[in-house]
A and B are shown apart, each in its own frame.
Chain A
Amino acid sequence: MTRASSLIAGVGPLLLILLLWQWASASGLFPPQVLVAPADVAATLADLIARGELGVHLATSLKRLIAGFLAGAALGLAFGTGLALSRTFEALFAPMFQALRQVPVLAFLPMLVLLLGIEEGFKIVVVAIAAFFPVALAAFDGVRGLPRSYLEVARLYRTPLVPLLGRILLPATIPPILTGLRLGLTRAWLVLVACELLAADSGVGQMMEMGRQMFRIDVVLAGVLVSGLVGFTLDRGVKLIERRQLRWKAA
């Protein structure tokens, strides 16, 4: 099948749904608090963009996401590598790590609200926790999965720590760690949106929650669209990096 026809096959059903939706809302069967036309959602979205409101919400959310993700991923990388390299570190911290991993991050929200309040710090900590676990796990698996011989050669040559990390550990463990980072990023986004629904004064999640409270289903749907686009972009972005990293492997 050619590119053009597969594109039509992909977009066609979506267009059909949009048409059906437009027709259903124009038919007057549903009150506007229940169903608004896709054209109205598009108009609301354009309006939110034009007034800069969406930009502010999006920027706030992304700032929280980046700050929390960077902190959580860095800690996760260090922790996972530590678990994989040191038997003592593993004996000390692996059991607690495994136990905490059983609890969904969202279940920590009420506790963290009481401990940290609902300011910016709370959201960044929650995002960091969400990113920490998958990244730590991926780093652990990646470093553990290294062939033992690599480390033995390094030990034989008494490779100092920095080249050991930079020349051996890093290149060999990048693929699994990138997968972990991607998982961590999508988890972090999910949890951040939930956090903003629960307690925030701005952000994409808060925009949706305000829309819900004011029965503005068009605003809610615009938020759904934006949060989906952000999720898609994050996932696709890391996947592209993964593919570039894997090029040498195929050859």
Chain B
Amino acid sequence: MRPIDRPAVRIIAALLAPVAVLIWWQAQSAAGGARALAFVPLQDVGASLVEMAASGLLAADTLATVSRAVTGLLFGSMAGILVGAAMAMSPIVDRIVGPLYHSVRQVPLLGWLPLIGLWLGNGDGAKLLIVGLAAFYPTVLGSYEGLRQVERRYLEVGVLLGFTPLQHFTKVLLPGGLPLILTGIAQAIAFAWIATIGTEILLGAGAGLGATMSHAQAQQRMDVILVAIVATGLLGFTLNHLFARLRQHLLRWQAAIA
């Protein structure tokens, strides 16, 4: 084993770069100067973390952000799966909705924000709509492609067995399309999370980690921003990780076939 492959060496190596960044940061904050306000000392960040955790602000923001992401995700991905399934099963729907879907999708997600802001203001409705839209796009694609690539012979077996349309859907199409549908949902989770944080920062109203960051920016509170960034990263990682576990569980039959 080369020295670099030893677990202990790897852990130390992994810590070197982050520690170097932290030391550099701390030195910047001690040096003063024009940007000293931005480089808050690390002990202040720690103190803010304790304070935000103790006052319940961190928990309230986390709850607001996560529930917004999950609500938007649920509505957006359910609509997306339905639209994708309709497009996959009906050539007419595909021809009518397909071009619309592909043209609307070209607009950068947050580019809708000024328009939706004009229509719905900067409250929860506007944010949920954007988060839902973020989840909608990839799930449409996932369910459309998932259901279309189900093998013809499986469908033929269903015909032989005299399946009703509902049985066709639940026993053949859905399991056959599941891997790609779940891939679509995994992407939807990532996009919905980005959209949640993005809309919260840009609209800056209400509760949530993004809104707190936006307020902290106005008050030049870098310590609060850093705590919120770390929380955002950890939560995003947890959401993706939980879904990856669920996906593995739902697709546990796949390894047996392949």
Instruction: Give A contacts to B, CB under 8 Å.
Output: 6, 9-14, 17, 33-34, 87-88, 91-96, 99-100, 102-111, 113-115, 186, 189-190, 193-194, 197-198, 205, 208-209, 211-212, 215, 217, 220-221, 223-224, 227-229, 231-232, 235
Q: Let me know if A228 and B106 touch, CB within 8 A.
A: yes
Nearest Cβ distance between residue A18 and chain B, in whole angstroms?
Answer: 11
Q: Let me know if B111 and A114 touch, CB within 8 A.
A: no
Q: Let me know if A231 and B198 touch, CB within 8 A.
A: no
Enumerate 27 A-B pairs (CB-CB under 8 Å) in ascending A order: A6-B95, A11-B99, A12-B96, A14-B100, A17-B100, A33-B118, A34-B118, A34-B119, A87-B4, A88-B4, A88-B13, A91-B13, A96-B14, A96-B18, A104-B236, A110-B216, A111-B229, A189-B108, A190-B108, A190-B110, A193-B110, A194-B110, A197-B114, A217-B118, A220-B118, A224-B111, A228-B104
Measured CA separation A104–B226 after assembly (Å): 13
Q: Let me know if B233 and A103 touch, CB within 8 A.
A: yes
- Note all chain B residues with C-beta closer than 8 A to A105: 194
Measured CA separation A109–B203 after assembly (Å): 13
- Note all chain A residues with C-beta closer than 8 A to B35: 115
- Note all chain B residues with C-beta closer than 8 A to A197: 110, 113-114, 202
Total B residues in contact with A, Cβ cutoff 8 Å: 59
Q: Let me know if B201 and A109 touch, CB within 8 A.
A: yes
- Note all chain B residues with C-beta closer than 8 A to A103: 229, 232-233, 236
Q: Let me know if A95 and B14 touch, CB within 8 A.
A: yes
Measured CA separation A114–B103 after assembly (Å): 36
- Note all chain A residues with C-beta closer than 8 A to B198: 104, 106, 194
Cβ of B107 within 8 Å of any chain A Cβ, yes or no, is yes
Measured CA separation A211–B167 after assembly (Å): 51
- Note all chain A residues with C-beta closer than 8 A to B14: 91-92, 94-96
Q: Kindly name the residue among B16, B108, B220 whose own CB sees the greatest number of chain A CB atoms within 10 A.
A: B108
Provide the main secondary structure of the chain B interface.
helix
> Digit string of B106-127 for contact with A (CB within 8 Å is 1, else 0)?
1111111111011100000000
Q: Let me know if B213 and A110 touch, CB within 8 A.
A: yes
Q: Which residue of A is nearest B2, CB measured? A: A87
Measured CA separation A224–B104 after assembly (Å): 10
Known: A198-B201, A228-B106. A10 touches B95 (CB 8 A): yes
Measured CA separation A99–B237 after assembly (Å): 9
Q: Let me know if B194 and A106 touch, CB within 8 A.
A: yes
Q: Kindly name the residue among A34, A111, A221 whose own CB sees the greatest number of chain B CB atoms within 10 A.
A: A111
Q: Contacting B107 at CB < 8 Å: which of A12, A111, A224?
A: A224
Q: Let me know if A107 and B201 touch, CB within 8 A.
A: yes
Q: Which residue of A is nearest B117, CB measured? A: A212
Q: Which of B189-240 contact A (CB under 8 A)?
A: 193-194, 197-198, 201-202, 209-210, 213-214, 216-217, 220, 222, 225-226, 228-229, 232-234, 236-237, 240
Q: Contacting A13 at CB < 8 Å: which of B100, B113, B117, B119?
A: B100
Q: Which residue of B is nearest A235, CB measured? A: B106
- Note all chain A residues with C-beta closer than 8 A to B228: 107
Measured CA separation A115–B113 after assembly (Å): 25
Q: Contacting B201 at CB < 8 Å: which of A87, A92, A106, A208?
A: A106
Q: Contacting A114 at CB < 8 Å: which of B13, B16, B104, B217?
A: B217
- Note all chain A residues with C-beta closer than 8 A to B194: 104-106
- Note all chain A residues with C-beta closer than 8 A to B161: none
Q: Which of B12-53 contact A (CB under 8 A)?
A: 13-14, 16-18, 21, 35, 37-38
Q: Let me know if B214 and A14 touch, CB within 8 A.
A: no
Measured CA separation A190–B13 after assembly (Å): 34
- Note all chain B residues with C-beta closer than 8 A to A205: 111
Q: Let me know if B118 and A215 touch, CB within 8 A.
A: yes
Q: Which residue of B is nearest A114, CB measured? A: B38
Other A-B pairs, 11, CB within 8 Å; known A94-B14, A235-B106: A13-B100, A96-B17, A96-B21, A102-B237, A107-B233, A109-B201, A111-B213, A228-B111, A231-B106, A231-B107, A232-B106
Q: Which residue of B is nearest A33, CB measured? A: B118
- Note all chain A residues with C-beta closer than 8 A to B63: none
Nearest Cβ distance between residue B221 and chain A, in whole angstroms?
Answer: 9
Q: Let me know if B4 and A220 touch, CB within 8 A.
A: no
Nearest Cβ distance between residue B59 and chain A, in whole angstroms?
Answer: 18
Measured CA separation A205–B193 after assembly (Å): 21
